[in-house]
Structure 1
Amino acid sequence: MNSENEDEMSYDIQVAVATHKPYRMPSDSCYLPLHVGAELHPDVCTDMQQDNEGENISASNASYSELAGLYWLWKNSYAAYKGLVHYRRHFRTSDSIKKSSEDRFCRIATGEDFASLFEKTGAQIILPKARNYVIETIDGHYRHTLPGEQLDAARSAIEGACPEYLSAFDAEMAGTKAHMFNMLVAKSDVFDAYCEWLFPLLGNVERCLGAKNYDAFNARWPGRISEMLLDTWLVTNDVMWAEMSTVSPEPVDWIAKGKGFLAAKFLGKKYGKSF
Structure 2
Amino acid sequence: MSYEIYVVSHKKTRMPDGDIYLPVQVGPAEENFQGFVRDNTGDNIASKNPNYCELTVQYWAWKNRNVDVKGIVHYRRLFSNGKKMLFASPEKKFQNVLDEKKLGEIMKNHDVILPKKRNYFIETLWSHYIHSHKTEGLVALRDVIAEKYPDYLEKFDEVTSRTKAHMFNMIIAKSPIFDEYSKWLFEVLGEVEKRVDISDYSSYEARIYGFLSELLMDVWIEKNNINYYELPVMFMEKQDIIKKLGIFIGRKLGLVTEV
- Of 25, 37, 44 in structure 2, the residue corresponding to residue 35 of structure 1 is 25
The match for 2:38 is: 50
- Of 104, 123, 132 in structure 2, the residue corresponding to residue 115 of structure 1 is 104
Cα–Cα, structure 1 residues 107 and 157, in superposed 2: closer, same or farther, change >3 Å? same
CA offset at residue 185 of structure 1?
Answer: 0.3
Cα–Cα, structure 1 residues 196 and 136, in superposed 2: closer, same or farther, change >3 Å? same
Amino acid at match of 1:27: D
Conserved? CA contact 1:107–1:247, under 8 Å: no
Aligned residue runs from structure 1 range 259-270, under 5 A: 259-265=246-252, 267-270=253-256
Q: Say if 2:59 is the partner of 1:71.
A: yes
Q: Secondary structure at the match of 1:27?
A: coil
Name the % identity: 38
Cα–Cα, structure 1 residues 111 and 271, in superposed 2: closer, same or farther, change >3 Å? farther
243-252 or 127-136, larger mean C-alpha shift: 243-252
CA offset at residue 46 of structure 1?
Answer: 4.8
Aligned residue runs from structure 1 range 61-100, under 5 A: 61-94=49-82
Unpaired runs of 5+ in structure 2?
Answer: none
CA offset at residue 227 of structure 1?
Answer: 0.4
The match for 1:272 is: 258
Q: Secondary structure at the match of 1:231?
A: helix
CA offset at residue 271 of structure 1?
Answer: 3.4
User: 1:126-149, CA deviations, whole angstroms, 9 ceiling, x for partnerless residues?
Assistant: 000011111110101111111111
- Of 5, 12, 22 in structure 2, the residue corresponding to residue 15 of structure 1 is 5
- TM-score of the superposed pair, with normalisation by structure 1: 0.88
Conserved? CA contact 2:79–2:98, under 8 Å: yes
Cα–Cα, structure 1 residues 271 and 134, in superposed 2: closer, same or farther, change >3 Å? same
Cα–Cα, structure 1 residues 201 and 256, in superposed 2: closer, same or farther, change >3 Å? same
Question: Runs of 4+ in structure 1 displaced over 6 angstroms?
Answer: none
Unpaired runs of 5+ in structure 1?
Answer: 1-10
Q: Secondary structure at the match of 2:215?
A: helix
Q: Say if 2:196 is the partner of 1:209.
A: yes
Conserved? CA contact 1:153–1:209, under 8 Å: yes
Cα–Cα, structure 1 residues 46 and 271, in superposed 2: closer, same or farther, change >3 Å? farther
In 2, Cα distance between equivalents of 1:200 and 1:238? 20
Amino acid at match of 2:19: S
CA offset at residue 209 of structure 1?
Answer: 2.2
In 1, Cα distance between equivalents of 2:128 and 2:88? 32
Amino acid at match of 2:15: M
In 2, Cα distance between equivalents of 1:244 and 1:95? 8
User: What is the aligned length?
Assistant: 257
In 2, Cα distance between equivalents of 1:12 and 1:18? 19
Amino acid at match of 1:113: K
Cα–Cα, structure 1 residues 15 and 102, in superposed 2: closer, same or farther, change >3 Å? closer
Conserved? CA contact 2:136–2:196, under 8 Å: yes
Amino acid at match of 1:127: L
The match for 1:154 is: 141
Q: CA RMSD in A?
A: 1.8
- TM-score of the superposed pair, with normalisation by structure 2: 0.94
The match for 1:132 is: 119
